[in-house]
């Protein structure tokens, strides 16, 4: 169902491709396309409140060329950052089913294999965090899941050497209530730069 504000838009309405720098050392891993953001514009975190919050922080942290993402043609460029999600289509009620997660897992597996310079994964929310751990297990990593607890700013090293940083998702539910503040979010991405060996 389209929102009245976007009645004149022709929604993307298909699986949303990832976005960013193919040589990235940092990956921002999200949940799924937003119903009226990515699903409308065809680019991750573009055109909704979550994206407004995310890109302003990415710009301040030196990853994004612009502080706001409005469309696929707005000229936004990312440096040393790649953005993707564990699910590629907007799920009902913003909560993907186990079947959707399984269906999309092969795309994530292929994409991770192509990111040859990847050092750090910033997981935006618990579903992304669990999705990354599931990816590691599909690759054969012997993980004790109890050793990996989701919490904002939690930091772990995976068996293959990737560093994981967990963050609350930049949803309006989190940002409007103060559960996730600009300072908290910026700190995560500045730590990601440090761990990836990027200049501040």
Instruction: Say what the pTM is.
Output: 0.90
CATH of domain 4-195: 3.40.470.10
H or E element in which residue 84 lies: strand 81-85
4-42 pLDDT, tens digit per residue, is 655 565 666 667 889 999 999 999 999 987 766 777 888
99-112 pLDDT, tens digit per residue, is 888 877 888 999 99
Pairing outcome for strands 120-124 and 163-167: parallel
């Amino acid at each position: 169902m389209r929102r009245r504000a976007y009645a004149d838009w022709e929604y993307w309405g298909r699986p949303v491709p990832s976005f960013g720098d193919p040589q990235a050392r940092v990956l921002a891993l999200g949940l799924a396309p937003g119903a009226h953001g990515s699903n409308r514009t065809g680019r991750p975190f573009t055109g909704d409140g979550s994206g407004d919050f995310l890109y302003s922080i990415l710009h301040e942290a030196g990853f994004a060329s612009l502080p706001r993402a409005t469309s696929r043609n707005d000229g936004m460029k990312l440096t040393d950052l790649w953005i993707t999600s564990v699910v590629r289509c907007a799920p009902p009620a913003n909560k993907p089913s186990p079947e959707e997660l399984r269906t999309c897992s092969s795309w994530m597996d292929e994409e991770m294999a192509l990111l040859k310079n990847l050092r750090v994964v910033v997981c935006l929310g618990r579903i992304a965090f669990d999705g990354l751990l599931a990816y590691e297990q599909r690759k054969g990593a012997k993980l004790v899941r109890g050793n990996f607890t989701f919490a904002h700013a939690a930091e772990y090293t995976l068996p293959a050497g990737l560093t994981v940083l967990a963050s609350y998702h930049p949803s309006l539910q989190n940002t409007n209530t103060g559960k996730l503040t600009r300072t908290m979010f910026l700190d995560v991405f500045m730590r990601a730069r440090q761990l990836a060996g990027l200049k501040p």
